[in-house]
Amino acid sequence: MNPYDLITLLTVLRTQKTLKPFWGRWFPTAIEFETQEIAFDKVNVDYRRLAPFVAPNVQGRIQRRTGTSIVSYRPAYVKPKDAVRPNEFFRRTPGEALITGTLTKEQRLNAKIAELLGEHRIKIDNRIEWMRAKALIDGMVTVEGRDYPKVTIDFNRDPSLTVTLTGTAKWDEPSGTSTADPIGDLQSLRRAINDLTGDVARDYVFGPNAWELFYATIDPKELQNNEIRGSEGTISRFLDGLEGVEYAGDIRGVSGAGLMRCWVYSQKVYEDDSSSTLTDILDTNKVVLIGEGVQGVDCYGAIEDLDSLVATKYFPKIYDEEDPSVRYLLTQSAPLPVPKQINSTASIQVA
C-alpha cells in the first residue's frame, strides 16, 4: 500500500492544530466545486414589499421579480511546496536519545512529512482567513502574486457603506475644533445596513487606535446609565494589547436594545515567504460593522491535477525525482470566500 495516498495525506492534514480564525465566524459553510470555476449567484429578496390591493372581481396582478446575476471566477491557487532530501534523515532529530537516537530514517522521514503538511495547512488557512477579512473589510478581495496577474473580485458593496471621515469629523481631531461623533457615525452606518438589507449590525471590529479614539470620546457614566451590564458589558481601555483579537465587551441600550459587540483586532501577517515585514490585516484607524445576514461561504474550485479526482479544500500529493534523489511535498487549494449579502457589512476610516 502506498503510505502517501490521498486519504492518508488528508488524514494527516486534518489532525494538525491551527489557530482558530476570527473572520471565519461569518463564513459558517463551505462549498467544494467539481469545476475549476467558482460560480456564485446573488439573489436580492426584499420582504418589505406590500401585496397590492385589487377589487375582488379583478384578476390578481403578476408580481415583478427581482433579478438574479451569476458570476463565475476561476480562483488563484495557493500551493506551498517543500523538497525533502535523503541527507536530512541520517542525523538525530530533536527529542531523540543523544548519540544513538531512537528513530529509524523512515520514521524521521514520516515525521518530517507530517510536520511539513501541518505548515502547508497553516499557510493555506492563513491565506483564506486573510481573504475573508478583506471581503468583509473592503467589500472586495484583490489577488496578486509573483506568478499571478492582479485581479480584484468586487462583491459590489453599496458605496454608502464604505466611509472615510475627513476634516473636523475625524475622531482624532483636537477637541477645540472637533465635530467628531463616534456613536452617531456608527449609528448612521448601522441604519444604512438596515435600510439596504433589513439586517442589523451587531458586531463592531475596531482597529487598535480606532478603539482608543472611540472610548476616549464616550462618557463612561452615560454608558452606565444605558445598562452596560455584567462582566461581558464592562468596557475597558486596559486590554492586554496582545497580537490577535480581543473582546472588549458589549454595549446595550435600555432593555437590551441596540446591542453592540465590540472587538479590538490587531492581527498582523507576512505577505509571503519572501517578506520580512509584518502588515496589518485591519487598518488601526478603521472600524468594520458586520451583521449576521452576511452568510459567508468558503468556496473552493476543483484542482487541475491528473491525480485530483475529488472536490476538496486541500489537495496534497507527494512525488519523487530520481537524479538527484528528492521527494517533493505539495499541497494545493483554490479558495474564494464569498459573502452572500455583502451589504450586511460596512467600514469607516475614522482617522
Domains with residue ranges and CATH for the chain: 6-43+70-154+298-337 (3.15.30.10), 159-295+342-349 (3.30.1930.10)
Compute the distance between CA of residue 186 and CA of residue 133 in angstroms, rounded to an integer: 19
The answer to whether residue 223 scores a pLDDT higher than 50 is no
The Cα 122–Cα 198 span in angstroms is 36
With the C-alpha atoms ordered 188, 189, 192, 194, is the resulting torsion angle positive or negative? negative
Split at pLDDT 50, 70, 90, the class of 213 is very high
What's the confidence (pLDDT) of residue 348? 97
**Is the model more confident about 238 or about 102?**
102
| Side-chain-side CA neighbours of residue 247 (13 Å) | 11
Burial class (CB in 10 A: 0-12, 13-18, 19+), 167: exposed
* DSSP codes, 91-160: SPPTTSPTTT-SS-HHHHHHHHHHHHHHHHHHHHHHHHHHHHHHHHHHSEEEEEETTEEEEEEE----GG
Q: Give pTM, 2 decimals.
A: 0.81
Q: ∠ at Cα 44 (40, 48), nearest 5°? A: 160
Q: What is the DSSP letter of 331?
A: E
| Residue 228 · residue 259 · CB < 8 Å | no
Beta strands 201-206; 260-265: pairing state: parallel
The average pLDDT across 168-177 equals 88
> What is the pLDDT averaged over residues 35-60?
59
Q: Report the interhelical angle of 6-14 vs 105-138 (nearest 10°).
A: 60
Q: Is the pLDDT of residue 346 over 90?
A: yes
The Cα–Cα gap between 289 and 305 comes to 40
pLDDT at position 231 over 60: no
Predicted confidence band of residue 306 (pLDDT cuts 50, 70, 90): confident
- Rounded to an integer, what distance in angstroms lies between the CA atom of residue 203 and that of residue 348? 14
Each residue of 235-265: pLDDT tens digit?
Answer: 555 556 566 888 887 777 665 567 888 899 9
Share of the chain above pLDDT 90, in %: 32
> Would you say residue 146 has pLDDT above 60?
yes
Task: Give yes or no for a contact between 331 and 316, defined as CB atoms under 8 angstroms apart.
Answer: yes
The average pLDDT across 344-349 equals 97
Residue 347 CA to chain centroid, in angstroms? 15
Q: Which class for 170: exposed (0-12), middle (13-18), buried (19 or more C-beta within 10 A)?
A: middle
Question: What does each C-alpha distance from 242 to 44, 64, 213 come to in angstroms?
Answer: 40, 53, 18
The pLDDT-based confidence of 290 (bands split at 50, 70, 90) is very high
